Amino acid sequence: LSSSLEGDLTDGDSTIKAFTVSHLYDDTLQRIEITKAPNKISYFEGENFEKDGMEVTAYYNSKNNAEVVLGNTEYSITNGTNLSKNQKSVTITYRDKSVNQDITVQENSIIDLKITQEPTKKEYKEGQNFEKEGMIVEATYKNGTRKIINDYTIEDGDNLTSNQTEVTIYYDGKTVKQSITVISNPLIGIEVTKAPNKINYVVGQNFDKAGMIVTGTYKDGDKKEITGYTIEDGINLRKEQTFVTIKYEEQTTTQEINVVEKSIIQISVGKLPLKIKYIQNKEELDLTGGVIRVTYNDGTNENISMTSEEVSVSGFNNENIGSISIELTYQSKTTQFEVEIVEEEKAVNSNLSNVESNVKKVQAYFFTDESKENYILVNVEVDKVLRNMDNDSVEYYYYLSSNSNEQNINDWTKITEKQNDSDKLQFTIDSRNITNYNEAVSEDVIYLYIKEVAIKGGNQSVAVSKSMRLETEQSIETYIDNTKKENLQSNNQNTNNSDKDNTMVEDGKLPQTGVKSTVLILAIIITCVGVIIYIRYKVLSKYTK
């Protein structure tokens, strides 16, 4: 350090920082550039890119060889062959680097069309067609190339006229003329040399020339097929008409035809009736929905309803089972279709001969409000039912009785629960729905009857089960004002004597009331292990305090 600084740094700390600049050269390729454009950058479609004069330079991260001009074979060119119209560039690629060279490509359209060699034949007779044999047509394009054209078209080359001096050659929007000479050779007659495919017609149809060949004869004896003829009297043919007239220029000929009145060729069943199956000895023929298809000799068709007054029907007989043929007649033409006579479907009841009842639950509902109706619910399962599941529909009813041999039961109660099992019925008996409830529970034993009403195919069958004694080992659930009560009998016995109201509780029986108004008995009698339990309530205020 200089002496001038020494004094300033005495007894002090100091730091000296040194800065260096360095560059790491690894000779990697950084990019490529087109440093000189090619001689040609304008092209026509279909040409190939030309790289003559183009200079491509590669730039490296190198101290000694940072820029290297590439040889013509070192890089590749993409999209450079068969250039397309409006293409904007080609791609130059060297190793993993690419650069684009801009170009312009325009459509290489035809600018001129000429006949470089005339056809072999240039003189024709009137009515002949131009012949192109020997003729060479050449097209010149924008890029100066020339090409012989073979798929050109010839205008005005058919049926040459006597005053015609040239025909026109056309290709891709360009035309050229070929001069010719046409000698007058007038047409002296025409004839039908091949009859049309169709010569038989129905009144009102139009003549059809398909398949017909008309030949013209010229003055020099030549014959040629004529195509531009017209047909007179060929529209809406008449019954008495026997020919049509063919005309070309001033010449005419005729073609014989046959014209007949419109008539029916045949009838057939176009659509079967909605009903084709009938019950033996029961149902009558119904042709609703059936259609007859009428085919006429002019090829047209018409649909006629089988129920039309113009259609007569025979052959229906429903006495014997099996298929029978129904014959339909319309304007002397007939057709048939079959219907099937089947045995009437009959409803078959389930087997109720071995049924057994099983009470699953008993619920008694009582109300302190005398305006509300007390009632009993009994959940019942009837087992050992052999149900017939083939009926269209089935309904079940029950009846309660104190008689084990009821006959002619009328007051059945319908079972509303849906029955899905094939071997049992499950439902709830509701005392509110039973018209003979008071009568039934006045006895010691209640019997249950089941009625089945089966329906199939309009047929109904009814079966009634044997009587079934209602028995259960289930305890009775008691509800007072919809609240379940437990140990009702015990609570009654423990009630203070001062609170008693003539209510009597018998051994083995639920309490029974009866002092304030007319006795309303709502009860169910169920034999349970030999003990008959009576449920009869009127006023239950003592048990709801």
> How does pLDDT run across 208-265, given as a tens digit for each residue?
999 999 999 988 888 989 999 999 999 999 998 999 999 998 999 999 999 999 999 9
Q: Tell which residue, 69, 192, 183, 179, has the closest CA to residue 126.
A: 183
Using a 10 angstrom Cβ sphere, with 0-12 exposed, 13-18 middle and 19 or more buried, the burial of residue 236 is exposed
Residue 538's pLDDT is: 32
Report the DSSP pairing between strands 97-102 and 277-279.
unpaired
The CA–CA distances, whole Å, from 416 to 284, 427, 462, 501 equal 37, 8, 17, 41
CA-to-CA distance for 117 and 130, rounded, in angstroms? 15
124 touches 182 (CB < 8 A): yes
How high is the pLDDT of residue 472?
75
Residue-wise pLDDT tens digits, 292-333? 999 999 889 999 999 999 999 999 999 999 999 999 999 999
Instruction: Please give the average per-residue pLDDT across 403-422, as a whole number.
Output: 94
Q: What is the pLDDT of residue 13?
A: 61
The answer to whether 313 and 275 are in contact (CB under 8 A) is no
- CA distances from residue 217 to 185, 186, 201, 322, 414 in whole angstroms, order as listed: 10, 9, 30, 72, 100
Q: Is the pLDDT of residue 274 over 90?
A: yes
CB of 199 within 8 A of CB of 262?
no
Q: Sorting pLDDT into bands at 50, 70 and 90, what band is 162?
A: confident
- Look at residue 20 in the predicted model and tell me its pLDDT: 54
- Is the pLDDT score of 10 beyond 70? no
pLDDT of residue 285: 96
Q: Quick one: average pLDDT of 377-381?
A: 94
**12 pLDDT band (50/70/90 cuts)?**
low
Inform me whether the pLDDT recorded for 8 exceeds 70. Answer: no
